[in-house]
């Protein structure tokens, strides 16, 4: 007797239902049109870096420092440093200049970035760059150098071993150089001595600054914030700024407010723009670039002249005749007859534009002139920016 095998499909159906709900929730939470977080397209008021700069001396170089005869500022800095350390540097009685002329000292500029909300005692990286005619900073040590801000106040003190990413070696007939040996870095080479005061906890409002100002993007950011908070507290004041009033439930906890807001996703809008760098032949076109109906033909007259001189010699053991050079010239003219005309219909997309121009065999250099001609004809519905 044969019995029919019964299979229960309910667990499988339940599993498929759960997967479908999970996918639907994922799509609802992260829709296709919400592609960027607010923290990626905007910055908040007060959250910024500050630049620091200082002047110092690097010692301990292997004969690759500044030449004292050519770098008077290095000489004066060395004398001043030695005097502050209690070393009396007597000048030469003959010419009144410092008799000691070391080759292992270099004057440098020290730069660093002071992070936002950096506290006293925190260490930051610094960059050291040669100021005189030093050829290599490898192995040198930066002496104590104060780093000042734009207001002239000292915010950090730097000192440490300079690490360069390059080298330079030379001989009588050859030399080799990698990267820039006159620039180096000091990891954790500066200690912050002064903080930039900023009270974020008691802020009543926050300014959200867009990195790429745009009316549509600013409004979308404000709408996303209002939808999340459930209140009309954000409004765009200009294309690059969204004014946010801190809600009552976030008073005294502005960090939590910014943490929640920066994760919201919006679709940034962009201006239809074509950017051209004529120096490198680079062309960048935005997604919204459109072309009106226009016909394009590209062809150049090319004349190529090749000289291949030949030597004519008399017969062997001949008493007459001499060796002469006979010119051989080959002239080729290309009138561009193989190039065709391409018609671009109204409202073509960026993909259509590139495909049609590639079909003509046009390179980046010729494409630059074509885009400029299309813009001059009024058929390019975009902003053309030449760098």
Residues 248 and 278 in one domain: no
Number of structural domains found in the chain: 3
Residues 181 and 120 in one domain: yes
Measuring CA to CA, how many Å separate 381 from each of 38, 282, 355?
29, 20, 18
Residue 358 in any domain: the answer is yes
Residue 70: the pLDDT is 83
H helices present in 44-175, as ranges: 72-84
Asked if 370 contacts 296 with a C-beta cutoff of 8 angstroms, the reply is yes
Q: Are strands 273-277 and 383-386 parallel, antiparallel or unpaired?
A: parallel
33 membership: H or E segment, kind and range = none
Is the overall model pTM greater than 0.75, yes or no? Answer: no
Residue 24: the pLDDT is 44
Residues 253 and 281 in one domain: no
Residue 7: the pLDDT is 47
Residue 36 in any domain: the answer is no
Residue 266: the pLDDT is 93
Residues 302 and 370 in one domain: yes
Question: 45: phi > 0 → left, psi -120 to 50 → alpha, else beta; which?
Answer: beta
Q: Coil, strand, or helix at residue 68?
A: coil
**The two structure tokens encoding residue 147:** 């780093």
* Sign of the dihedral defined by the CA atoms of residues 136, 138, 144, 147, in that order: positive
DSSP letter assigned to residue 161: E
Residues 294 and 370 in one domain: yes
DSSP letter assigned to residue 314: P
Neighbours of 177 (CB within 10 A): 13
CA-based nearest residue to 82, from 59, 116, 103, 65? 59
Residues 187 and 205 in one domain: no
Residue 199: the pLDDT is 82
For the CA atoms of 367, 372, 374, 378, the dihedral, rounded to the nearest 10 degrees, stands at 160
**The two structure tokens encoding residue 42:** 């905007």
Residues 349 and 219 in one domain: no
**The two structure tokens encoding residue 274:** 């074509």
Residue 35 in any domain: the answer is no
In angstroms, rounded to a whole number, what is the distance separating the alpha carbons of residues 115 and 211? 19
Residue 8 in any domain: the answer is no
Residue 322 in any domain: the answer is no
In angstroms, rounded to a whole number, what is the distance separating the alpha carbons of residues 316 and 311? 15
What value does the CA radius of gyration of the chain take, rounded to a whole number of Å? 35
In angstroms, rounded to a whole number, what is the distance separating the alpha carbons of residues 114 and 193? 11
The parent domain of residue 261 ranges over 199-266
In angstroms, rounded to a whole number, what is the distance separating the alpha carbons of residues 374 and 9? 63
Residues 281 and 359 in one domain: yes
* Sign of the dihedral defined by the CA atoms of residues 370, 373, 374, 375, in that order: positive
Residues 61 and 91 in one domain: yes
Residue 286: the pLDDT is 77
Residues 147 and 130 in one domain: yes
In angstroms, rounded to a whole number, what is the distance separating the alpha carbons of residues 386 and 137? 39
Residue 4: the pLDDT is 46
In angstroms, rounded to a whole number, what is the distance separating the alpha carbons of residues 301 and 332? 11
**The two structure tokens encoding residue 74:** 């290095």
Residue 284: the pLDDT is 81
In angstroms, rounded to a whole number, what is the distance separating the alpha carbons of residues 8 and 284? 58
Residues 223 and 287 in one domain: no
Residues 66 and 146 in one domain: yes
Residue 95: the pLDDT is 55
Q: What is the DSSP string of 237-274?
A: EETTEEEEEPPGGGTT-HHHHHHHHTT-EE------EE
Residue 319 in any domain: the answer is no
Residue 16 in any domain: the answer is no
- Tens place of pLDDT per residue across the chain (387 aa): 444 444 455 555 555 555 554 444 444 444 445 478 999 999 998 888 999 999 999 999 988 999 888 888 888 888 888 888 888 776 655 555 556 678 899 999 999 999 988 999 999 999 999 998 998 999 899 999 999 999 999 999 999 999 987 666 666 656 666 678 899 999 999 999 999 888 888 889 999 999 999 999 999 999 999 999 999 999 999 999 999 999 998 988 898 999 999 999 999 988 888 888 877 778 887 777 777 776 766 665 444 556 567 777 777 766 676 777 777 766 565 555 555 555 555 656 666 766 766 666 666 777 777 778 878 888 778 888 887
Residue 10 in any domain: the answer is no
DSSP letter assigned to residue 5: P
Residue 207: the pLDDT is 93
């Amino acid at each position: 007797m044969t019995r029919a095998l019964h299979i229960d499909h309910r667990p499988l159906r339940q599993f498929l239902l759960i997967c479908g709900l999970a996918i639907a929730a994922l799509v609802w939470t992260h829709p296709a049109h919400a592609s960027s977080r607010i923290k990626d397209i905007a910055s908040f008021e007060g959250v910024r870096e500050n630049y620091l700069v200082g002047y110092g001396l690097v010692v301990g170089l292997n004969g690759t420092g500044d030449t004292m005869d050519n770098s008077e500022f290095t000489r004066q800095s060395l004398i001043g440093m030695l005097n502050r350390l209690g070393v009396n540097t007597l000048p030469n009685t003959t010419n009144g200049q410092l008799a000691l002329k070391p080759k292992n000292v270099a004057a440098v500029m020290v730069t660093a970035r002071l992070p936002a909300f950096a506290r006293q005692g925190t260490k930051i990286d610094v960059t050291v760059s040669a100021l005189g005619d030093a050829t290599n900073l490898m192995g040198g040590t930066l002496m104590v150098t104060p780093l000042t801000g734009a207001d002239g106040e000292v915010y950090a003190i730097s000192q440490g071993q300079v690490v360069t990413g390059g080298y330079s070696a030379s001989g009588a007939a050859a030399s080799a150089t990698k990267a820039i040996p006159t620039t180096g870095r000091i990891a954790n080479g500066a200690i912050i001595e002064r903080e930039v005061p900023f009270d974020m906890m008691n802020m009543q409002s926050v300014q959200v600054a867009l990195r790429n100002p745009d009316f549509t993007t600013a409004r979308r950011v404000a709408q996303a914030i209002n939808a999340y908070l459930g209140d009309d507290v954000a409004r765009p004041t200009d294309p690059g700024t969204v004014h946010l009033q801190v809600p009552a439930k976030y008073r005294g906890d502005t960090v939590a407010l910014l943490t929640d807001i920066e994760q919201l996703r919006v679709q940034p809008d962009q201006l239809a723009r074509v950017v051209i760098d004529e120096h490198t032949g680079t062309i960048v076109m935005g997604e919204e670039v459109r072309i009106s109906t226009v016909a394009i033909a590209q062809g150049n007259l090319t004349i190529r002249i090749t000289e291949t001189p030949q030597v004519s010699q008399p017969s062997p053991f001949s008493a007459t005749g001499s060796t002469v050079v006979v010119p051989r010239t080959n002239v080729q003219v290309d009138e561009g007859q193989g190039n065709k005309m391409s018609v671009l219909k109204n409202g073509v997309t960026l993909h259509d534009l590139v495909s049609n121009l590639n079909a003509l065999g046009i390179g980046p250099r010729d494409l630059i002139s074509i885009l400029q001609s299309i813009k001059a004809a009024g058929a390019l519905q975009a902003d053309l920016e030449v760098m």
